[in-house]
């Protein structure tokens, strides 16, 4: 072992490294020279046989060579690692310009949209939302709403009876009755959206099942002017700020006086056109001051409490708002129809 041999080691390593192409082989070559039983270790162990002078000189040379080898191996390791990373980057590259996978999203059903809007509006005016069952008693659906036995609205032609006392509710008005009986004379301010059923043959304007949104406000000083305000807000929310409403005398057994409410025609601005049959007005709902008989039957004293009720046809106002001309569109789940409402806010 001498200086020459040490220099040769460097040369040999450099030669060997030129053909090393992966980290595993590099590790093996490194072990051969710098490992515990590697060439440099053998050189070191031989130092003890030398004179002190020679040991000093040769020892420091060996250390220098060891350092040089370590640097060399480290440089090679870096080179191989960079190569590997570059290879991976190139082979696994993601093309960010490729189009993504498109999912078909649904949208809120137009009727549900109307109900959500009505709820938002009336909740903002201090109402709460009440619900009742769709299978209702004759007593709540008719009797306590001042529709006694023999009234035409109870006819088999109109109502789905389950038995003489149970039926599919034909209106959301029985929720008024249920709320009054539960509140026992206290003030009430509710809306009640929900499904109703009638024995109607389905056509463009009739459906055996549709939706209503009932309203009921009872208190000491609730007046017809309050009713008009509550409905004007609703009409403007649904049809636009410039719309007006008018109340026309009408009849419902559960209200007295009763009114039908018209909204000014949006197509002609009230001048008269085919949409409003040249009247300038379009009927949107029924309403009135709660009939004293109803108040009494539901535990309220008409001398102390009065109030109003209204019944909005959810399909009716939705059809008017979006110019839908066939009520059946709401139920047949044709995506070509439903997709129109995707963009509607």
Interface residue list for ligand DAH (CB under 6 A) = 171, 173, 214, 252, 254-255, 286-288, 309-311
Give dist(CA 279, CA 264) in Å, integer: 9
| Distance of closest approach, residue 241 Cβ to ligand DAH, in angstroms | 25
Nearest distance in Å: CB 106, ligand DAH: 30
CA distance 113 to 149: 37
Q: What residue has token string 């000014």?
A: 264
Q: How many CB atoms lie within 10 A of CB 226?
A: 14
Cβ 147 to ligand DAH shortest distance, Å: 10
Using CB positions, name the residue nearest to ligand DAH: 311
In the bound state with ligand DAH, the residue whose beta carbon lies nearer, of 266 and 313, is 313
Q: Hey, which bits of the chain come out as E strands?
A: 128-129, 135-137, 161-163, 166-168, 188-197, 209-219, 245-252, 255-264, 281-290, 306-313
Asked if residues 161 and 194 have their Cβ atoms less than 8 Å apart, the reply is: no
Question: Between 94 and 156, whose beta carbon lies closer to ligand DAH?
Answer: 156
Proportion of the chain in helix, strand, coil states, percent, rounded to 5: 45, 20, 35
> Which is closer to ligand DAH, CB of 142 or CB of 281?
142
The least distance separating ligand DAH from the CB of residue 326, rounded to whole angstroms, comes to 21
User: What DSSP character marks residue 99?
Assistant: -
Closer by beta carbon to ligand DAH, 39 or else 180: 180
Distance between CA 277 and CA 39 in Å, rounded? Answer: 108
If the CB atoms of residues 40 and 311 are measured against ligand DAH, the closer one turns out to be 311
Nearest approach, Cβ of residue 271 and ligand DAH (Å): 29
Distances in whole angstroms, Cα of residue 92 to Cα of each of 22, 78, 97, 165, 314:
19, 21, 15, 72, 56
Q: How far is the CB of 284 from ligand DAH (least distance, A)?
A: 11
How many other β-carbons are positioned within 10 Å of the β-carbon of residue 161?
A: 13
Euclidean distance between CA atoms 114 and 334, whole angstroms: 19
Helices (H), 92-209: 110-124, 138-141, 174-183
Q: Which is nearer to ligand DAH, 194 or 266 (CB)?
A: 194
Task: Compare residues 65 and 314 and give the one whose CB is closer to ligand DAH.
Answer: 314
For the bound state, the minimum distance from the C-beta of residue 102 to ligand DAH, rounded and expressed in Å, comes to 43
CA 135 to chain CA centroid, nearest Å: 29
Select 255 or 264, whichever has its Cβ closest to ligand DAH.
Answer: 255
* Least distance from ligand DAH to the Cβ atom of residue 318, Å: 16
């Amino acid at each position: 072992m001498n200086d020459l041999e040490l220099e040769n080691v460097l040369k040999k390593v450099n030669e060997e490294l030129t053909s090393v192409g992966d980290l595993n082989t590099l590790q093996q070559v490194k072990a051969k020279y710098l490992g515990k039983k590697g060439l440099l270790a053998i050189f070191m162990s031989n130092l003890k046989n030398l004179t002190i002078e020679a040991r000093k000189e040769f020892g420091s040379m060996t250390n220098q060579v060891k350092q040089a080898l370590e640097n060399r191996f480290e440089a090679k390791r870096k080179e191989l690692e960079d190569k590997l990373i570059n290879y991976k980057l190139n082979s696994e590259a993601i093309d960010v310009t490729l189009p993504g996978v498109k999912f078909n999203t649904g949208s809120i059903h137009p009727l549900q949209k109307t109900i959500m809007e009505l709820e938002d509006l009336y909740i903002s005016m201090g109402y709460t939302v009440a619900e009742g069952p769709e299978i209702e008693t004759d007593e709540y659906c008719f009797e306590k709403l001042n529709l006694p036995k023999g009234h035409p609205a109870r006819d088999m032609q109109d109502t789905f009876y389950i038995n003489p006392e149970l039926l599919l509710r034909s209106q959301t008005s029985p929720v008024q009755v249920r709320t009054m009986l539960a509140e026992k004379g206290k003030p009430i301010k509710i809306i009640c959206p929900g499904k109703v059923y009638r024995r109607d043959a389905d056509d463009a304007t009739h459906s055996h099942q549709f939706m209503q949104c009932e309203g009921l406000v009872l208190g000491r000083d609730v007046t017809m002017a309050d009713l008009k305000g509550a409905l004007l807000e609703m009409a403007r929310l649904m049809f636009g700020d410039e719309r007006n409403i008018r109340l026309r005398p009408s009849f419902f057994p559960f209200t007295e006086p009763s009114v039908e409410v018209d909204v000014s025609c949006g197509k002609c601005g009230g001048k008269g056109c085919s949409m409003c049959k040249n009247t300038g007005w379009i009927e949107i709902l029924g309403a009135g001051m709660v009939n004293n008989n109803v108040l009494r039957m539901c535990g309220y004293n008409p001398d102390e409490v009065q109030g109003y009720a209204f019944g909005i046809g959810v399909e009716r106002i939705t059809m008017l708002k979006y110019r839908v001309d066939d009520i059946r569109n709401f139920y047949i789940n044709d995506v070509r129809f439903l997709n129109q409402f995707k963009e509607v806010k």
